[in-house]
Structures are given as C-alpha cells and as structure tokens.
Amino acid sequence: MKMRQVIAIGGGGFGRTQESNLIEQFILDQTSKKNPKICFIPTATGDLDPYIVNYYSVFSKLNCEATHISFFKRTIDLEEYVLKQDAIFVGGGNTKSMLAVWRDWGLDLILKKAYDRGVVMSGVSAGAICWFESGLTDSWASELKMMECMNFIPGNCAPHYDEEPERRPATKKFLQDQSITSMFGIEGGAALHFIDEQPNSTIRFKKNKNAYQVTLELNKVNENPYNCLLYTSPSPRD
C-alpha cells in the first residue's frame, strides 16, 4: 500500500518569489518518479492567469509534466484526470470560495480517492489548510476565522504563522475559547510534511523557518517545533 502524503506550505514558493525552486523540487521528489505528473489547482484565486503563468515558469525548469485544472472555463473529466497524477499542488487565495466550488463539482471526494491511492497532496496557504480538519483563514475580510476543511489530516492549521502579525494572536484566541485544543502553525518558508496523517518533519526552504505544534497551558502559548530538514539541493534537470 502506498503511503499517503500531504506537504502543507506556510507561505512562499512560486506564488511569491521564483528565486529558488526548493520546495517545488521537494514535492516532486516525494513521488519517487523520474518525470512525475503534477497538477496545479488555482481555484482559490479564481484561476488567476498570472499565478498559472508563474506555476509553469517554475515547473517547466524541473523534471515533470506540469498541467493545471480550471473551473472557470470548460472543465475536464476531473476523476479520470486527477487519478492519473503523481502530485497535486493547490494554490493560495480564498479557502471558503475554493472549497465551495470543489464540493459542488465533487473534487473533494476525488482528491480523497487520489490521496488514498498515494498521490502526493501539497499546497500553500489556502492550499495548505484545505487538507486539515479545520484551518485559520482570512477568507472573510473582517477577521480571521476557523473553518471546516476536508479532514484528510486530523487537527487544525495556521499558515503564514510568522508572516502576518494577526496569526499568532488569533491562534491564542481560539485556543483560549476552547474552539480548538492545538494548532499546526507553519511559517512562511517552511512546510510541514505529513506521512499517513502524522507530522514527519518540517521542510525548511528558507533559513530559520519552522512549523510548530501550538498548545495552551495555564493560559501560556507553547510552540513546540517539529524536527527540521533544511532542503537546499534540488535535483538538476537532465
């Protein structure tokens, strides 16, 4: 049986900068394929064209077959297409709107089937929290909220944990009111790699970045970092 993997990125990658391809290469490497098929799903930005261009600009430099799925033009047979992939990358944006579109099309169930078959699931921001039981999202303009996600991974996720100043206070608030009992806090420049629903290691593709298990004890926030892998050597293209 193939292991199930999720790579949840706290921030960074091709959507923000193209100065390195480290996390992108790490995702491809987890497929154990020489020329893996990877599919980008940019629904959370409404399939924003520049975001798609950035995706192809980066992944065209790597050994892979890169494609994407659009929901705002004519949409392909999703199940047939997704199950042929080796990896999925979900972009950032509005998590609530993204999941609403996916559920209407049944993509959430298709992704779960692919995940159970060993397709590597990955993504940043909205594309990170979507895999969890719930996530801390800025889908609402007024405030950060916890929202129910797809529950591939038990627990709760907060991306941009160090990049946006309101993330830590919001996490503390939800811990204090007992909405949650713990949080996976993932900083920009880091990703938390899960294998069979368990956190395996933090993938650090920028210096001094971490992912944490965040809990509350006696009204004090505890941030326990996961073991880190500093990923610095992407495989060269032939």
Separation of first and last alpha carbons in the chain: 31
- 3-class secondary structure, 226: coil
122 included as an active-site residue: no
CB-based contact 35:238 (threshold 8 Å): no
What is the DSSP pairing of strand 132-137 with strand 87-90? unpaired
User: Which residue's structure tokens are 């509005």?
Assistant: 94
- Type of residue at 101: V
Helix axes 107-116 and 95-105, enclosed angle (nearest 10): 90
User: Which residue's structure tokens are 């950035």?
Assistant: 54
Q: Point out the catalytic residue in the list 125, 139, 182, 201.
A: 125
Q: Point out the catalytic residue in the list 122, 134, 160, 193.
A: 160
- Type of residue at 76: I
160 included as an active-site residue: yes
Distance CA 19, CA 9 (A): 16
CA atoms within 13 A on the CB side of 208: 1
Residues in the chain, total: 238
Distance CA 125, CA 157 (A): 10
Please identify every residue annotated as catalytic.
125, 160
